[in-house]
Structure 1
Amino acid sequence: MAQRPEQSDSVARASEPSPGDADIVASEGRALLRVTGDWILAHHSRLNDRVRALHAQTQADMPVDVAGLSSLDTAGAGLLHALLGAERVAALLADGAALPPAQRALLRAVAEAIEGREPAPAAAGGSALGDVLAHVGQATLVFWRHVSGLTGFIGLILETALRVALQPRRWRVTALVANLERTGLDAVPIIALLTFLVGAVVAFLGATVLANFGASIFTVELVAYSFLREFGVMLAAIIVAGRTASSFTAQIGSMRANEEIDAIRVLGLDPIELLVLPRVYALLIALPILSFVAMVSGLVGGMLVAALKLDISPVLFLSRIQDNVGLIHFWVGMAKAPIFAFLIAVIGCLEGFRVQGSAQSVGEHTTSAVVQSIFVVIVVDAIAALFCMEMGW
């Protein structure tokens, strides 16, 4: 049977939400704050004006009646918190019969969120020694987390490399060649130029100082020893750390921020095998070659200064190197190149996987990768120098 128009209009009016309201009424000889209606987003503007009007009239000990509150959402709960204050909201939440469970849970969540944004009280000042020890402890924990994470990542790379080495069909030759071009071939000009200039500077300083002792001819040995053992490989590693480690971190970090790493895992692929191993292998091949280029460029720079300032011909320069500089010094320098390459590649890739998903995080971890790589290169080079000195190499 069809409803009459009057009946349908009355049903529609009954289903419409009643606007929320609040008022101060007299009850049993004292003032009472009565909250009624729907405190929802649809009536936010009207309720906000009402809250502002009543805020100055309400007293801290004024009782509250919320029996007429029919509906409540997040916007209405925020206005109700502004009207009642934190203490009366806490008392209202403590009364289990005042509100239905759903409204009480919503009001509690909104109150905790609002009150949590308030500034925390200032912590009591501690002693200077305690603050220093606390800072040292925090720095030690951060260092330990970095070391443990790095060693764990190295183990994961070695395990994946051994597993993939037995399956030639899974070798990523195309990715290896592409990374080898970016990390090795593209870096040759800058490494050759910088080491040439450093070799010229070392030769010039050596000639200037040794001339006071009548030993200018030993500038040849100075340049040869410094570049074959230390400067060649270390300068190449530092340039690669600033150029390649940052590139690895930015590339993998951008993929992680765009959720491409998760997509690779969903496809059933291993990110270590797909992204890390080609970069590690490429740098293991590229850095020894770049170190050799750096050694040759440094020697050429020293040879040029010796020819122009000391009248030492290139033939004499090379013959003194052949007669007085052993081949062991070249091998000592070249032996450090794969170690530096592996550590730089691992740190760059690890920092890329640590990116949290924002552009700021990509920048922070890129900077961290460069700093850590250069730090590790210098520390390992110092340890290697002490070891070779004790071994008599």
Structure 2
Amino acid sequence: MERPADFTVKDARDQGVIELTGDWTAALIGPAASGLRDELAGRSSVHLDLTQVGRMDTAGAYAVIQAAGDRFEAAKVKARPETQRLIELVSQAAVVKPPPTVKPRGFHELTIRIGKGVMDLSREVLDTLAFAGHLLVVLFRTIINPRRIRWAACVSLAERAGLDAIPIVVTTSFFIGAVVGLLGANMLRQFGAEVFAVELIGIAVTREFNILITAILLAGRSASSFAAEIGSMKMSQEIDAMKVMGVDPFEALVLPRFVALLVTIPLLTFVATLAGLAGGLMITWSVLNLGPSFFLQRIVDNVGATHFWIALSKAPVMAAVVAGIGCRQGLEVGGDVESLGRRVTAAVVHAIFAIILIDAIFALIYMELDL
């Protein structure tokens, strides 16, 4: 017969004995647990008699231990053998505390951080190679069957990454060309060679600054946008739904962004070249009194189109880097907003770092080729 849990105070003194009766189980504890806790709150020591307890489970044993608090000692509890074993088992589990972690200091901490950094870098390299391999498979698959390309998405993304970026690219390149022309004119005036500021502007703008400024601006503009868009889809499980329906996320999300930047970066590079030369022309005309016809003639005669084609040869690589890093960071987003913020920031930082590194590698290669 089931009896609700209860208790009686056999001795009302400060160190009296409290006798528990009834069934101390999860279903029958009721208000007895809170009442026992209130009764034991003002006592300096705890003496419990559990010999009259009918049945007890882990919930009842834990309620008794919680009511006694830090003063509970399983050895001082008077109970039948089976109840005593249960009390000891639950008390051991209840009082177990995790061992204190000793934080490493000095050289030990340094080695741990270096080791973690190496492991994170290795994992990042492997994930990047896996991403690149999957993208290449999708690229070859679409080359074999062009009907798999989502042209509507490609055109829409190209408009957002290309046409919408023209104002900022033109403005930035114009002032970069103007600054190069102003510095060149001031420096070359000391040697009476101000006229060579035209060649300086032409080579700097057509060879380096046009593609570099375009790629960096798209890294901050498009890479972050790609990471945020794909990351939001990852958080809302839209990408998982695409996989369930048999749609490859690389084919639906990554490839259109890759194609869009592959088309727009060369066009923006050309626009940036014109804007940079216009900025340099303005400075040479206003500061050095060299007319537009003289400026353009020296650009054609002494600079030529070789430097522009060298810059344009970097465009596909820059497009692949910006689109790849942005999409990869978006696919790595977890289920929280903090992860989205970290990945968007990482997309911009990694893309800019990769752009500068690749530009330096191209410079070394063309220097060895004497171009």
TM-score, length basis structure 2? 0.85
Work out which of the residue numbers 95, 100, 104 in structure 2 matches 1:121: 100
Matched, 1:189 2:170: no
Q: 1:263 to 1:96 in 2, by over 3 A?
A: farther
Moved more, 326-335 or 46-55: 46-55
Distance 2:209 2:290 in 1: 22
Is the Cα–Cα contact under 8 Å of residues 23 and 29 in structure 2 kept in the other structure? no
Distance 1:273 1:44 in 2: 60
Give the equivalent residue in structure 1 for 2:259: 281
Show CA shifts across 1:78-120 (max 9, x none). Answer: 645533558868999xx9944999x999x69x957x966x7x6
Distance 1:89 1:222 in 2: 88
Is the Cα–Cα contact under 8 Å of residues 193 and 297 in structure 1 kept in the other structure? yes
State the identity as a percent. 36
Distance 1:358 1:170 in 2: 32
Q: 1:216 to 1:21 in 2, by over 3 A?
A: farther
Moved more, 355-364 or 131-140: 131-140
Give the equivalent residue in structure 2 for 1:361: 339
Q: Which runs of 5+ in 1 are unaligned?
A: 1-13
| Secondary structure of 1:276's aligned partner | helix
Give the equivalent residue in structure 2 for 1:7: none
Is the Cα–Cα contact under 8 Å of residues 35 and 69 in structure 1 kept in the other structure? no
| Secondary structure of 2:314's aligned partner | helix
Q: 1:173 to 1:31 in 2, by over 3 A?
A: same
Give the equivalent residue in structure 2 for 1:242: 220
Give the equivalent residue in structure 2 for 1:329: 307
Matched, 1:141 2:119: yes
Matched, 1:391 2:362: no
Give the equivalent residue in structure 2 for 1:311: 289
Q: CA deviation at 1:293?
A: 1.1
Q: CA deviation at 1:170?
A: 1.5
TM-score, length basis structure 1? 0.81
Is the Cα–Cα contact under 8 Å of residues 38 and 72 in structure 1 kept in the other structure? no
Work out which of the residue numbers 138, 141, 146 in structure 2 matches 1:168: 146
Q: 1:65 to 1:189 in 2, by over 3 A?
A: farther
Give the equivalent residue in structure 2 for 1:9: none
Matched, 1:83 2:67: yes
| Secondary structure of 2:335's aligned partner | coil
Letter of the structure 1 residue corresponding to residue 66 of structure 2: A
Give the equivalent residue in structure 1 for 2:40: 54
Q: CA deviation at 1:123?
A: 0.9
Show CA shifts across 1:237-276 (max 9, x none). Answer: 0100000001001101101111111111111111111111
Aligned residues: 364
| Secondary structure of 1:324's aligned partner | helix
CA-based RMSD: 3.5
Distance 1:255 1:298 in 2: 38
Is the Cα–Cα contact under 8 Å of residues 25 and 31 in structure 1 kept in the other structure? yes
Q: 1:168 to 1:54 in 2, by over 3 A?
A: same
| Secondary structure of 1:188's aligned partner | helix
Is the Cα–Cα contact under 8 Å of residues 4 and 23 in structure 2 kept in the other structure? yes
Distance 1:378 1:235 in 2: 10
Is the Cα–Cα contact under 8 Å of residues 18 and 47 in structure 2 kept in the other structure? no
Give the equivalent residue in structure 2 for 1:230: 208
Q: 1:345 to 1:35 in 2, by over 3 A?
A: farther
Show CA shifts across 1:111-138 (max 9, x none). Answer: 57x966x7x6251553x23322322222
